[in-house]
Structure 1
Amino acid sequence: MTAHPSDNNNPANPTSTSLSYRDAGVDIDAGDRLVQNIKPLAKRTMRPEVLTGLGGFGALFEISRKYQNPVLVSGTDGVGTKLKLASQLNKHDSIGIDLVAMSVNDILVLGAEPLFFLDYYACGKLDVDTATAVVSGIAAGCEQAGCTLIGGETAEMPDMYPSGEYDLAGFAVGVVEKAQIISGVTIQAGDAVIGLASSGAHSNGYSLIRKIISSNQIDISQDFYGKPLSDVIMTPTRIYARPLLTLMKQLPVKGLAHITGGGLIENLPRILPDHAVAVLHKESWDIPPLFHWLQQQGNISDPEMFRVFNSGIGMVVVVGADQKNAAMDCLRKAGETVWQIGEIKERTPGHSATVLI
């Protein structure tokens, strides 16, 4: 049959219906409402160095004149499959804290003061209430870190994400005086290794956590030491900015390690010189019940536990032995739970940089 010019089955012919962006699955009005919701949240995080607010094509931030030779430090990250649990539990108000923490804690280890943070929120269909809850957590994380939520991007992309799900990414920028960069090069035998308590699993190992839950058909609403197990699992990542910045002002810090994916085994070597080994004593700190429960439920070996999870230590600080007590006192006064979890020794060539005994 010959097609006629009015035949709408002909791919060369346009549809007779007038289409809008909303028809394609993108709601511009919802995006505008979200921006209005975000503005007061971001305003709470403002620092005096901010020259422009939300809404522009870019953001302007002036480096404080208190720095003589400033070096910018940047970090970026997401929160992994913890997002799947947030969607499953309809709990979106704290996942933004995780997002900020993962980047801010990373730049802290170089001695940087966090200055500003930007986020990227992507979804198939924008739910304004959910997105507002997520950004409220991001703003709360920025307040904890002392940095400004200076901008971000919301992307509504139909067919890219399943209904009700979203993805998050973010990055932080900080600044450190060049002469005060913490690189780990001065770490030597005899130095003390101090561990700061984590708040839980933070944002690592959640693919395994979810596997354990599904394989054992666990009801995560059950009581777990006086709290719903779901709340324990979703506890946001601890942000160590204020205590560590205070510590760095009071005494020389030789090394810092953020304990994320890879655990103590793989993160501590990233800051150690070739001649140093961190000898850690497994009995020297309190491993939270969550990790014992995960190990039992998943029948996980000790080496695997220490490679996947932080095992109760979210940040490691290396200081000289003569500064150990002062450092621990400073951190405790700042509200941290701390232990000396090990010491630095000379490493034999070819041997591991971290040893658990």
Structure 2
Amino acid sequence: MTVTQPAASRAAQILSRPTVINGLTVPNRIVMAPMTRMFSPGGVPGEDVLSYYARRAAAGVGLIVTEGTYVGHDSAGQSDRIPRFHGEEQLAGWAKVADAVHAAGGTIVPQLWHIGMVREQGQPPFAEAPAVGPSGLRIGADEATGKAMTQSDLDDVIGAFAQAAADAERIGFDGVEIHGAHGYLVDQFLWEGTNRRTDAYGGDLVARTKFAAEIVAAVRERVSADFPVIFRYSQWKQEAYQARLAETPEELEAILAPLAAAGVDAFHASTRRYWLPEFDGSDLNLAGWTKKLTGKPTITVGSVGLDGEFLGAFAGKGSEVKGIDDLLDRLEAEEFDFVAVGRALLQDPEWAAKVLQGRFGELAAYDAASLNTLS
């Protein structure tokens, strides 16, 4: 496959610019996207996880968003190999990761995660915990199979996110990212397909945003004023790829405005292909619209540097290298502020250095086998 290679000086000039999120200066515009790895037995990130992130920071990634980490609520997850962001041993492991990334010249935020109704009851780390959600509905279901959350449940989860954020600041992280995307708990409240509530947390777009906004506000209260809070969201869901929270810019603004008002400092707009326009009549992608509507810094993501979308990776499919000329054009036009890179960085820890130094011929195609290692 022939890949157009932008001039090395242009790539370096555009991507290497330091950019600020609240009080945090990120050394460049390259972000490592969060990717679940399942290499943390007992929920504890070990030396291999530390090295995995530090290698990428040393090779030029400006901001690392960790894989999703479970907040301290028994129903938050369903694997004992996915890291947790609560517990003395788990937090001690994460403190070492943060220190290593800083020593390598990067910045790092944990992604705070609750999977909600995606959980299969009986799975670790807390087998007896029920699956919980706004209405107890799984994606695509019409009958509840889980627990519709009570006010007490909502308060507990909000408190768990806030505690995780406070712990992140205490142990040396540079900010936090709240996972509000892809059909997990926070997104289950945002989407009418899984939120059938008739109380203050259900109904129109603004009401469905209430839970997410309360999480953001609680996090904001527990951390310093200059500690960045990032919110990741998406239109698509893991089991409903064509789902949409918003059909128009006006609907998107109804979702984003309460979140920005609650204290979000930057938005991470997750798409499957970053180059696709989000709404008819404009070439702006989801991150571009988010920046236009909120004025906040935004991160774009979705098959960056590769020609196949990430969903194929889970079916064992690889992807060829794709040029980044269009990405550079959009960054230069200030459509968005950062670009998050997933599989390309999974395949090659030195992806950022190679791009910043113009070594485009050394970029490797993505092999799905890289999911099986922490190289």
- TM-score interval (norm. to shorter): under 0.3
Q: TM-score, normalised on structure 1?
A: 0.24
* Relative contact order, higher structure (CA 8 A, sep 6+): 1
For the pair shown, the structure with the greater C-alpha radius of gyration is 1
Q: TM-score, normalised on structure 2?
A: 0.23
Larger relative strand fraction: 1
